[in-house]
Amino acid sequence: MQKRALITGVTGQDGSYLAELLIAKGYAVHGLRRRSSTFGTQRIEHLIFGESPSLHLHYGDLSDGNGLVRLIREIRPHEVYNLAAQSHVRVSFDQPAYTADVTAVGTLRLLEAIRDVQDDTGEQIRFYQASSSEMFGKVVETPQKETTPFYPRSPYGVAKVYGHWITVNYRESYGLHASCGILFNHESPRRGETFVTRKITRAATRIKLGLQDKLFLGNLDAQRDWGFAGDYVEAMWLMLQQDEADDYVIAMNELYSVRDFCEQTFSRLGMDYRDHVEIDPRYYRPAEVDLLLGDSTKARTRLGWTPQTSFAELVDMMVEGDLELARQEAVIKGLPAGRKAA
Ligand code: NAP
Ligand code: F7E
């Protein structure tokens, strides 16, 4: 029998990689999309157009609980992956109530919908919650693992703690097969352009081709454990294939600073980041997360999860992707594309 999966946040970075993975595994994949005045489906166009579209999109929103119930009743998924969120930490300080409604209470609405439909049909629906290393915030131990206490430092982090614990609570209260992946930062050429890694690779490649001069950043000393999103969605799927639901840290177990990321990106393009990067205090956060370093031993031993992409390969992949975008932009602008390329 063909398995059916529902992905919320399918138009986002992780949603696009997870949809590809599940389609490759033979699933019928359904995705929740928000209505917007533009298409917003750039990351998944290859899956929804063409001769045999393999991804089925449905309008919906995590703020609309009744809509979620209707959708789950209609699709009757075997697996639900909750990737939708207001996912930007800096923006969560500007929109704290909205972030709480979508990222925290949205998770509750989805769990309630699953519980209702599962009770009615008697068919198990397995659930994945996109928890985050941001929950560790002002870390109380290093590296961070599943047992490390949470100390969130942003409205986003607080909302994710709620989403995490309500998922654990529904597992323990109602026996739902509900697992949380506590994922550390993961990036790709599809990463949103306002997250720091993509902001850096986008700007550095545009600077290389003469499309801009400067890159304005905030705290260069922040340290993160960065992996490749394509590797991390495999862990999400593995969690839902286990007999018992559980929570897992997913990380590379390696630490780099924002400055390191700048240094590596600009040097690949034959440049020195110090000639182009300037500090703009607007990008500082009211409360910063200085250091996140994961310990993913549990996922590696119990799930057999092994990331395939190194930090250097990740940077290369993102630089390549953005160099191509910059070249296209240079052509449109009539600039001698690639003139300055190494
Ligand atoms: P992303 O690129 O920002 O994607 C977020 C997705 O959520 C988008 O599809 C977005 O739709 C959708 N969304 C936002 N508000 C919604 C709403 N009210 N109702 C329905 N959908 C809504 O995020 P990502 O990097 O793929 O991350 C996926 C999930 O993992 C998120 O929950 C994030 O918080 C979490 N996470 C991410 C990381 C990371 O490093 N990437 C680490 C840990 C946890 P639009 O396309 O219409 O905006
Ligand atoms: O910032 C510093 C910034 O926005 C990383 C989300 O996917 O991962 C992500 O959250 C660091 C921070 O990611 C700029 O202060 C410096 O210390 O790329 P980011 P994040 O805040 O770690 C977690 C795990 C998630 O769950 C989230 O959904 O970089 N930084 N200068 C900057 N950050 C940004 N965005 N822009 C700058 O100019």
Q: What is the pLDDT of residues 251-301, one digit of tens each?
A: 999 999 999 999 999 999 999 999 999 999 999 999 999 999 999 999 999
- 339: in domain: no
Residues 170 and 208 in one domain: no
Residues 118 and 10 in one domain: yes
129, 163 contact by CB (below 8 A): yes
- 341: in domain: no
- 37: in domain: yes
Cβ of 288 closer than 6 Å to ligand 2, yes or no, is yes
- 48: in domain: yes
Residues 148 and 276 in one domain: no
- Domain with 284 in it: what CATH number? 3.90.25.10
Residues 104 and 22 in one domain: yes
For ligand 2, atom 17, name the residue with the nearest CA.
222
Instruction: Write out pLDDT tens, residues 161-180.
Output: 999 999 999 999 999 999 99
Residues 244 and 263 in one domain: no
pLDDT higher than threshold 60 for residue 321: yes
Residues 59 and 204 in one domain: no
- The rounded Å distance from CA 224 to ligand 2 centre is 9
Residues 80 and 204 in one domain: no
Which residues form ligand 1's pocket by a CB distance below 6 Å?
A: 8-9, 11-15, 32, 34, 36, 40, 61-63, 83-87, 102, 130, 132, 183, 185-186, 192
- 338: in domain: no
**What domain count does the chain have?**
2
For ligand 1, atom 44, name the residue with the nearest CA.
132
| Domain range for 286 | 196-223+255-291+309-333
309, 227 contact by CB (below 8 A): yes
Instruction: Write out pLDDT tens, residues 81-108.
Output: 999 999 999 999 999 999 999 999 999 9
- The rounded Å distance from CA 157 to ligand 2 centre is 12
Residues 216 and 149 in one domain: no
- 120: in domain: yes
- 160: in domain: yes
- Here the tokens at position 25 are 């595994």
- The rounded Å distance from CA 336 to ligand 2 centre is 33
Q: Who's near 6: CB < 8 A, 6+ residues apart? A: 30, 31, 32, 71, 72, 75, 77, 79, 80, 81
- 211: in domain: yes
Separation between Cα atoms, residue 310 and residue 307, nearest integer Å: 8
Cβ of 328 closer than 6 Å to ligand 2, yes or no, is no
Residues 99 and 22 in one domain: yes
Quick check: pTM over 0.95?
yes
